Amino acid sequence: MDVETFQRLSVTEVASLVRAAGPKVCGFPPNGTRRWFMLEHPELAATRGFEAYLQVAGQRHLDVWQIFFDHGVDTVLSPFFGSAVAIRDESYQRLYRQGLLWLTTSRQALDFYHTHEVRVSIYGSARRHLTDPAYAEVLESFEAIAQQTAHHRQHRLFVGIYAEDATDTVAEIVVRLYQTQGQVPSKRQIIEAYYGDDVAPLSFFIGFEPMAMFDVPLVASGMEDLYFTVSPSFYLDSYTLRAILYDHLYARRTKDEYGRLATEEWSQLGAFYRLNRHHVLGVGRQGAQGCWWHPLPQVELLPE
What is the full DSSP assignment across 75-128?
Answer: EEEEEEESHHHHTS-HHHHHHHHHHHHHHHHSHHHHHHHHHTTEEEEEEESHHH
Same domain, 282 and 166: no
Same domain, 284 and 198: no
pLDDT of residue 288: 80
Same domain, 174 and 275: no
- pLDDT bin (cut points 50, 70, 90) of residue 274 is very high
Look at the alpha carbons of 178, 183, 184, 189 in this order and tell me if their dihedral is positive or negative: negative
Same domain, 84 and 194: yes
Instruction: Give domain status of residue 94, yes or no.
Output: yes
Q: Which of 11-20, 131-140, 288-297 has the highest mean pLDDT?
A: 11-20
pLDDT of residue 4: 97
Q: Which of 216, 232, 251 is the last residue of a domain?
A: 251
- Cα atoms in the 13 Å half-sphere on the side-chain side of 220: 15
Sorted by sequence, the CB contacts under 8 Å of residue 36 that are 6+ apart come out as 57, 60, 232, 233, 234, 235
Phi, psi of 96 (to 5 degrees): -70, -40
Phi, psi of 296 (to 5 degrees): -100, 145
- pLDDT bin (cut points 50, 70, 90) of residue 92 is low
pLDDT of residue 81: 77
pLDDT of residue 89: 62
Using a 10 angstrom Cβ sphere, with 0-12 exposed, 13-18 middle and 19 or more buried, the burial of residue 266 is exposed
For residue 208, the cross-strand partners are: 229
Same domain, 40 and 134: yes
Overall number of domains in the chain: 2
Residue type, 26: C
Which structural domain, as residue segments, surrounds residue 290? 262-295
pLDDT of residue 135: 85
pLDDT of residue 95: 75
Phi, psi of 117 (to 5 degrees): 50, 55
Same domain, 268 and 133: no
Same domain, 69 and 170: yes
pLDDT tens readout for residues 179-218: 999 999 999 999 999 999 999 999 999 999 889 999 999 9
State the CATH number of the domain containing residue 73. 3.40.1180.10
pLDDT of residue 272: 97
pLDDT tens readout for residues 21-60: 999 999 999 999 989 999 999 999 888 877 788 889 999 9
Residue type, 200: A
Instruction: Give domain status of residue 256, yes or no.
Output: no
Phi, psi of 67 (to 5 degrees): -60, -45
Q: Is 28 in contact with 228 (CB distance < 8 Å)?
A: no
Look at the alpha carbons of 190, 194, 197, 198 in this order and tell me if their dihedral is positive or negative: negative
Instruction: Give domain status of residue 96, yes or no.
Output: yes
- pLDDT bin (cut points 50, 70, 90) of residue 128 is confident
Instruction: Give domain status of residue 88, yes or no.
Output: yes
Instruction: Give domain status of residue 84, yes or no.
Output: yes
257: helix, coil or strand? coil
Instruction: Give domain status of residue 302, yes or no.
Output: no
The rounded Cα 63 to chain-centroid distance in angstroms is: 14
Same domain, 28 and 155: yes
Give the residue from 127, 116, 189, 120 showing the smallest Cα distance to 159. 120
In whole angstroms, give the CA distance from residue 230 to residue 292.
Answer: 12
- Pseudo-torsion of CA 241, 216, 55, 118, nearest 10°? 70
Same domain, 69 and 192: yes
Q: Is the pLDDT of residue 83 over 80?
A: no
Same domain, 176 and 274: no
Instruction: Give domain status of residue 189, yes or no.
Output: yes
Same domain, 266 and 247: no
Instruction: Give domain status of residue 304, yes or no.
Output: no
Share of the chain above pLDDT 70, in %: 97
Same domain, 113 and 231: yes
Q: For residues 247 and 256, which has the higher predicted lDDT (pLDDT)?
A: 247
Q: Is the pLDDT of residue 298 over 80?
A: yes
